[in-house]
Amino acid sequence: MTPIYKVLINNNTIIKPIWVMRQAGRYLPEFREIRSKNPDFIKLCLNEKLSAEITLQPLKRFDLDAAIIFSDILMLPYGLNQKVEFKKGIGPILGDLDLDSILKLNENNFVEKLSPIYKLVNLINNSELTKNKNTIGFVGAPWTLLVYMINQKSPKCGLKNDFFKDKNLTSKILNIIEKFLKVHIKHQVKNGAQIIQIFDSWAGLLNDKDLPNYVYEPTIKLVEYTKTLNIPTICFPKGIKKYKDYCETVKPDAICIDYDVDPKEILKNIKIPVQGGMDPKILLTDQENLKKEAKRYLEIFKDHPYIFNLGHGILPDTDPEMMDYLVKTVKDF
Ligand code: CP3
């Protein structure tokens, strides 16, 4: 059994496996090299050979316990025929949403459009570099995808004023998202994804009273669906305060925490395996500080099933040497 499965399935508290969100990304010069020759990010995600190479880049350098497929949560709206572009320095920009055309879309068109992603999962799963390691597939949570699809850009500066105006529209879109997320999960699993992480990057935008409707209920359906495929889920509801409530309601196999959460509170309140937490900015400081912070998390979760990770994606300015030092610190613990 792989180290991460030992934690997720057997609740092993002795080993502390590690993988890092955005481990394949801009902090690696070999990624930037490929990226500079491939200005269209969506096309890059749909090139299974290059995506596989990118996915495996960090595994060639560091002793990580998982490969997360190089893709994006916004491949879902792309698969639903909503235009998605990534603008340098701005982030993703989405086209207008055409509900009628989305309602007409069938599963086969969607799967056909995203088929390179499923081929990618297969390539990763069959690579020598992922032996005794897990292949992690992922999706955006329904709420976070709804945010991008309606807001049409990152909600960094807040949601559109009329975001919640048409409740009928939001509920219809949520249903469609949920339906196609299940398809997306099914095909990743069929091709070898052994874990599904659900990224709810914008869960923190909601008031507590709106969490059940927009976050809990739609996510429960995905977690339950993935359970029927015998695959564990890790949920990352970034920015929420009520992690205990979330875990007891959504019941994922593990919870990924962000850097604003007090890990000691989590340890006290959460029974299921925990992942992540350390602030990615720590990797921009020095080795001594990095070791101290990494050990703080490892000490706190010493007797709890814990997968080491950061509290959000590794930052593009990170020195790969610091990542190397982090992985070694965790492995030596
Ligand atoms: O973690 C990994 O290594 C796997 C790859 C991965 C990417 N995106 C590649 C990517 C994963 C898991 C994601 C998830 C994702 N994508 C999320 C959830 C996690 C989070 O960060 O909160 C979100 C919100 C997105 C949407 C998205 N994609 C944004 C907002 C951006 C632009 C901001 C940014 O970080 O550049 C992207 C682009 C993106 N996705 C890049 C990568 C490596 C950068 C592409 C580039 O410009 O080179």
- Does the model's pTM come out above 0.95? yes
Q: What's the whole-number mean pLDDT along residues 9-18?
A: 98
Of ligand 1's listed atoms, the one at least distance from the Cα of 316 is 35
In the predicted structure, residue 31 carries a pLDDT above the cut 90: yes
161 pLDDT band (50/70/90 cuts)?
A: confident
Confidence of residue 189 (pLDDT cuts 50, 70, 90): very high
Which of these, 102, 93, 47, lies nearest to 70 by C-alpha position?
Answer: 47
Looking at every residue in the chain, the average pLDDT score rounds to 96
Segment 11-32 shows an average pLDDT of 98
Torsion (CA) 115, 117, 120, 125 in degrees, nearest 10? -100
pLDDT at residue 88 in the model: 85
Q: Say if ligand 1 is within 6 A of residue 68 CB.
A: yes
Q: What is the pLDDT of residue 278?
A: 98
| Per-residue pLDDT tens digits for 110-124 | 999 999 999 999 999
| Pocket perturbation via mutation, ligand 1, pick of 21, 22, 117 by most ligand atoms within 8 A of CB | 22
For residue 138, the ligand 1 atom closest to its alpha carbon is 12
Residue 158 predicted with pLDDT over 90: no
- Phi, psi of 263, rounded to the nearest 5 degrees: -60, -30
Ligand 1, atom 42, residue with closest C-alpha: 25
- Mean per-residue pLDDT, 251-278: 98
Tell me how far apart the alpha carbons of residues 61 and 22 are, in angstroms, rounded to a whole number. 14
211 neighbors 107 (Cβ within 8 angstroms): no
| Fold of the CATH domain 3-332 | TIM Barrel (3.20.20)
Ligand 1 contact, 153 CB (< 6 A)? no
Query: Average pLDDT of 63-76?
Result: 98
* Pair 45, 1: CB distance under 8 Å: no
Residue 42 has pLDDT above 90, yes or no: yes
- At 160, the pLDDT band (50, 70, 90 cuts) reads confident
pLDDT above 90 for 164: no
- Among protein residues, the one with the nearest Cα to ligand 1's atom 40 is 72
Average the pLDDT over 93-110 and give the result.
93
Q: Where are the domains of the chain?
A: 3-332
Which residue's C-alpha comes closest to atom 3 of ligand 1? Answer: 22
Q: Tell me the C-alpha distance between 100 and 119, whole Å.
A: 30
User: Quick check: CB of 58 below 6 Å from ligand 1?
Assistant: no
Instruction: Note the pLDDT of residue 294.
Output: 98
Say how many Å lie between the CA of residue 10 and the centre of ligand 1.
Answer: 31
74 lines ligand 1 (CB under 6 A): yes
Give the Å distance between the CA of 24 and the centre of ligand 1. 10
Higher pLDDT, 160 or 217: 217
Q: Which of 96-105, 191-200, 295-304 has the lowest mean pLDDT?
A: 96-105
Give the pLDDT band (50/70/90) at residue 329.
very high
Pick the atom of ligand 1 nearest to 35's CA.
48
Cα gap 124→314, rounded to integer Å:
21
Work out the average pLDDT over 61-84.
97
